[in-house]
Structures are given as C-alpha cells and as structure tokens.
Amino acid sequence: MSRTKYPIHPDFKKYENLNPPLSRAVLPLMQKMMGPLFSMEKSTEQIKISHLSIPASPNQAISSNHTIRALMYTPVGISEPAPCLVYFHGGGFAISASPHHFQMARTYALNTNCKVLFVDYRLAPKHPFPAAPEDCYAAYTWLLEHAGEYAVDTARIAVGGDSAGGQLATVVCLMARDRGQRVPCGQMMIYPVTGRNMVTESMKQFTDTPLCNSRDIEKYFSFYIEDPANEKSIYASPIHAESLEGLPPAYIETAEFDCLRDEGILYAERLKDAGISVTLNNTLGTIHGFDIAKESAIVKACVAQRVSFLLGLFKNRIGTE
C-alpha cells in the first residue's frame, strides 16, 4: 500500500511502504534473529566497546533472577571521569536493537565525547511491563553505584532513547525521583511514546504511515501491557503522571508524519508547565524512525541538535560535585 498521499521528504521515500510484521508468532523470531547483533559490536581505533552484564535490581516488582546485557562505548582518549549517556533503543518494547541503534550510540559517543551505556532490556511479549522500565532503571542505578569503576562522572549522567526508548528514558527519571535516587542530569527523547490510550489528532490521522502508525501502536501495547490495570501506571504512560516536577531538562524531537507526534508535543508542554527546561524540535517532512536515513541532511541537522543538547548538559554540570 503506497503512502504517497503524505508529502514525505524525498530523503525518506524509500521507507514509505515499510512496516515491521507484528504478531505474537513473528516477534520471537525477529528477536532471535536480531539478538546476536548485540554480541557482534566490536571496538575500533576510535572507540572501545565493553560488553557488560548488569544484575537486575533486587527490589523489582517482578522476578529479578536475570542479568541485563549492556554495552559501554568509550571514545579513545576521553578525559575521565567522563559524562555518560544511558541509551534505551526503540522498537515498540518488543523489537531488538538494530544496526541503526548501535551506529547512533557510536555517533553520540564520538560527537559528544561522552561514554554511552547501551542497555539491552527485556522485551515483550515474553517479558511484558514492567520488565523493560525496571531493567532500564536497574542499569541506571548500577551505573551510579559503579561510576568510579568505569570512570563516569555521576553529575553528568543523562538518559535518552528513541520511540519506546524515549519513554523509557523519561520513566527512568520518574522512577529515580519517586524512589529517592539521584535524577539524571537530562533526558533526550526522540519521537517518543509518552502515553497510553492517547486520543490526539496525529493518532487519529496517521493510521497507515510507514515504520510506525496508530494501528501498530495498538499492537505494540497489546504485547507490552498484559494486565489492563497497568495501563494507568505512570511508568507505562508518563504523560498521565500527576506531577512532572523534579525531572531534568529535556530535548524532545517529533516527526511530522508520525502518530506519536502530538503526544510528544503535549509531553513537552506538560514538562514546561512543571517548570522544566525543554528544547522541542518538531521536524518537517519526516516519518517515525526517520533518522535511519543517516545520510539525509535533515537527519544530520537533527543529530547536531541532539549533540548540542548533550554538550550543553554536560558542560553545565561540570564542577557540581
């Protein structure tokens, strides 16, 4: 089915008929196929990659008899203790990290001159909510506890992610605030999921857009939220939190032809209402997941803005300890 009715920028036209197959039968196969990509990440002359195994938090509301895989990207020659971005990949809480995600981790590390902790959290439908946010929070608190061992500056730890990972980034901030833990110094959210059962104009309009649309979102949530009672949790729908006070500065990026566009904008407004500094970048001609087209001038400009946000965060936190 062609999406030519949408004036998508030519940079992203080759993706206009692409949507992942979503079913309980197919997802485990996709995860099995893509999972080994994580182990294939290797060091280069520019960046060292360490493969880590992080214990799950003992206070999880779910079984914690597992470890969490993670990658630490460290630019060669970086000054230490260094800032660090804890990154959570997208994929609807159900699809493994792709080569694109690993490439973005390298880009952020090299261009921001920071370390990147890339978290391989558990995925639905085998591991529904709250497995993903609990894994992400466990990885964040583990980094705080082991910052000295890995030469990370605890005052300069930010969180970030794309799509589902964008939600997980802000949820980690909420968890840290609610559980009395140190809150990250910033949150970077790229075309994020921010709510459940959102009735926005973009959600109603974009039912057939490429890479992700409102029909896809319903499928993803059907895999992610098994217990309907969990739909009301702010860790599954942060936009519905009673208060967003105490969260860190945010960078939020939306795509024009994306069903998640309006909820990203609404979340930015809610953060601003709570007194949080927000940089909102509403991109035009774009689709969900558009930064997969890494040679696009639009993508390069967006990546530059993300890097600028991170650099500003890390610069402003120097000397705060």
- Write out the catalytic residue numbers: 163, 258, 288
User: Is 79 in contact with 16 (CB distance < 8 Å)?
Assistant: no
Q: Report how far residue 243's alpha carbon sits from residue 268's, in angstroms, rounded to the nearest whole number.
A: 13
Residue 254 three-state SS: strand
**284 Cβ neighbours under 8 A, 6+ residues apart:** 9, 256
Q: How many CB atoms lie within 10 A of CB 178?
A: 12
Q: What single-letter amino acid sits at 87?
A: Y
Ranges of beta strands (E only) in 163-236 are 187-190
Residue 266 and residue 260 in contact, taking contact as beta carbons nearer than 8 Å: no
> What is the DSSP track for 42-66?
---SSEEEEEEEEEPPTT-SS---S
Beta bridge partners of 59: none
* Whole-number Å distance between alpha carbons of 88 and 243: 23
